[in-house]
Amino acid sequence: MAKIAIVKLFNGLNLAPAQLAGQLRDAGHEVKIIYFKETVALPTDESEGYLEFDYPGVGFLANGKQYSVDLYKPVCESEEQLLVEELNAFEPDLIGFTVFSGLIRVCSEVTETVCKHFDCPIIWGGPGPTLEPEKCIGFADLLCINEGEAVIVELADRLDAGKDYSDILGTWYKRGEDIIKNENRPLMPLEDVARPDWSRDIHILINEDKVERNYYPEGSKSYSIMTQRGCPFSCHFCIESKYQDMFGRKNSLRRKSVDSIIEELLWAKEALNIKKVMFYDDVFTVHPRWLEEFLPRYKAEIGLPFWCYSYPTTHDRALLDKLKDAGCVAITMGVQSGSERVLKEHFNRPTKTDRVVAAAEEIVGAGITGFYDLITRVDFETVDDLEETFEFLLRFPLEMNTFMLPNMTSYPTYEYSENVIAAEGKGILNRPSDEDYDFYHHLYLLSRSTLPISKIREIRNDPKYRENPSLMAQFFDHKPIMNFTDPVPKRVRQSA
């Protein structure tokens, strides 16, 4: 039996460590998961004293304020000491770090501290090493490229047996100045992926000089699950599109059997006393045959309210009625832009906005609380695109909610990001000004108010609001919805 410590910098998106722990548990190994520090979200003008990720999340909140959502207090020496003490008490044979692209810098600093105290191998895994292995290999002994369940078990098995581990498929291995770049590992059948291990005694949080044991990062009532991996679409700003380019589209979209998902959710109900389920599939509403089998069983055997993602072309009213009947209380649908030019030419989402509006109306008509994602500060936008998005939002159902209008984040190596670099080199970008964005961001939120559309247009054409967009905030009569499954007050647009 090998002892594997998994360190995750900053809680949030926590499924991967628990998934790896479940795989190791079933293979007979011992695991400890340490979440190191937490992030906070604050108005951007109140973020003094905080650091942010290398690719931070910033956006315009539904209350009209600019927010930074990936802020954290600097890592202090006492927190690092607590991390070392916890690792010492566990005596690991391997230390793994889950690393996102925006955390490479801070993770390298924490890894450097850990290396001073332990001589066991250190492996980095996650999107960061997968997308930028050349950048990451200098900080770890090994990198896991792409999915990690089979890799971590084979590595643990070899460590337990005292065998060489330099040639494991799906890894890069650093031997002195040499780097062994092993071949990619075939994707693992999802039926062979273990149930995540949420045993409270293996999860701890270190934050603000405190250690919280028996930690459950998903909250006391919620259970996060993915029934599938991959996505049927290839949006240029999304990591799934990059993975398809790197590892091929064949078999990239895989879904677990209905029996496996029901079994896991039954376990979660019994062991964790969950009250709601969050399906984090990129697009839950694909594979109609799978849903035809799953939804009646979910209703009969699980019976908990749930939230999921959809896409404008992957649902209709009939499917939404079945989802609601099974317990769906909320759906988030990707919109991303109201400009068909931006959607088609720069996002690789050639969906007509008329269909997006109709898809939202179907969600509302089914009696499901609807949310939408819309990305702003897109490098290829023009003022005309902002105007088109505003006009789109006036057609978009008022009942659809948003928490925040996030800025586009250009993650390294994504096709969107590479196109931005190429366009900048040619000097052909014509980005709107900060003043333009301030005006249209307020207009976007004004479109979500209950004011008559005629009044909204009147405000849009009044020069004083162009000069001082914050004056529009007096008309905002909606609040940010912090949790998808919270009740949302019904709002009706005023008559003209």
* CATH number of residue 137's parent domain: 3.40.50.280
CA distance 151 to 140: 15
Give the torsion sign (CA, 59, 62, 67, 69): negative
CA distance 308 to 293: 17
Concatenating the DSSP letter of every residue in 169-186 gives TTEEEEETTEEEEPPPPP
Residues 323, 388: one domain? yes
pLDDT at 357 over 70: yes
Tokens of 31: 């695991």
Can you give the pLDDT at residue 24? 98
Give alpha helix (H) positions in 235-316.
Answer: 239-247, 258-272, 288-297
Site of tokens 């009646």: 296
Can you give the pLDDT at residue 378? 97
pLDDT at 63 over 90: no
Can you give the pLDDT at residue 270? 93
pLDDT at 487 over 70: yes
Residues 9, 156: one domain? yes
Can you give the pLDDT at residue 489? 81
Residues 244, 166: one domain? no
Picking from 164, 188, 207, the residue at the C-terminal end of a domain is 207
Residues 30, 84: one domain? yes
Residues 171, 239: one domain? no
CATH assignment at residue 382: 3.20.20.70
Residue 159 main-chain phi, psi, to 5 deg: -65, -40
CA distance 356 to 362: 10
More confident residue, 255 or 62: 255
CA distance 364 to 400: 8
Residue 310 main-chain phi, psi, to 5 deg: -135, 175
Residue 248: pLDDT band (50, 70, 90) is confident
Can you give the pLDDT at residue 481? 74
pLDDT at 313 over 90: yes
Picking from 153, 173, 207, the residue at the C-terminal end of a domain is 207
Residues 335, 453: one domain? yes
CB-based contact 70:52 (threshold 8 Å):
yes
Residues 30, 119: one domain? yes
pTM across the whole model: 0.94
CA distance 160 to 3: 9
CA distance 431 to 188: 43
Picking from 207, 235, 259, the residue at the C-terminal end of a domain is 207
For residues 109-135, average pLDDT: 96
| Least-confidence region, from 59-63, 72-76, 327-331, 407-411 | 59-63
Q: What are the beta bridge partners of residue 95? A: 5, 122
Can you give the pLDDT at residue 218? 66
For residues 129-134, average pLDDT: 96
CA angle 402–408–409, rounded 5-degree value: 125
495: in domain: no
238: in domain: yes
471: in domain: yes
**Which residues touch 489 (CB under 8 Å, ≥6 apart)?**
none
pLDDT (tens digit per residue) in 64-100: 889 999 999 999 999 999 999 999 999 999 999 999 9
Burial class (CB in 10 A: 0-12, 13-18, 19+), 453: middle
Residues 27, 96: one domain? yes
- 204: three-class secondary structure by DSSP: strand
Residue 177: pLDDT band (50, 70, 90) is confident
What is the domain range of residue 179?
Answer: 3-37+75-207
CB-based contact 401:333 (threshold 8 Å):
no
Residue 209: pLDDT band (50, 70, 90) is confident
pLDDT at 496 over 80: no
pLDDT at 152 over 80: yes
415: in domain: yes
- 132: three-class secondary structure by DSSP: coil
% of the chain at pLDDT higher than 90: 86
Average pLDDT, the chain: 94
**Which residues touch 221 (CB under 8 Å, ≥6 apart)?**
274, 275, 276
More confident residue, 217 or 472: 472
191: in domain: yes
Residues 192, 236: one domain? no
52: in domain: no
Can you give the pLDDT at residue 220? 65
CA distance 171 to 183: 8
Residues 238, 196: one domain? no
**Which residues touch 320 (CB under 8 Å, ≥6 apart)?**
328, 331, 362, 363, 365, 366, 368
484: in domain: no
**Which residues touch 244 (CB under 8 Å, ≥6 apart)?**
230, 234, 252
pLDDT at 279 over 70: yes
Residues 356, 231: one domain? yes
Domains identified in the chain, total number: 2
CA distance 453 to 391: 10
442: in domain: yes
Residues 176, 86: one domain? yes
**Which residues touch 424 (CB under 8 Å, ≥6 apart)?**
none
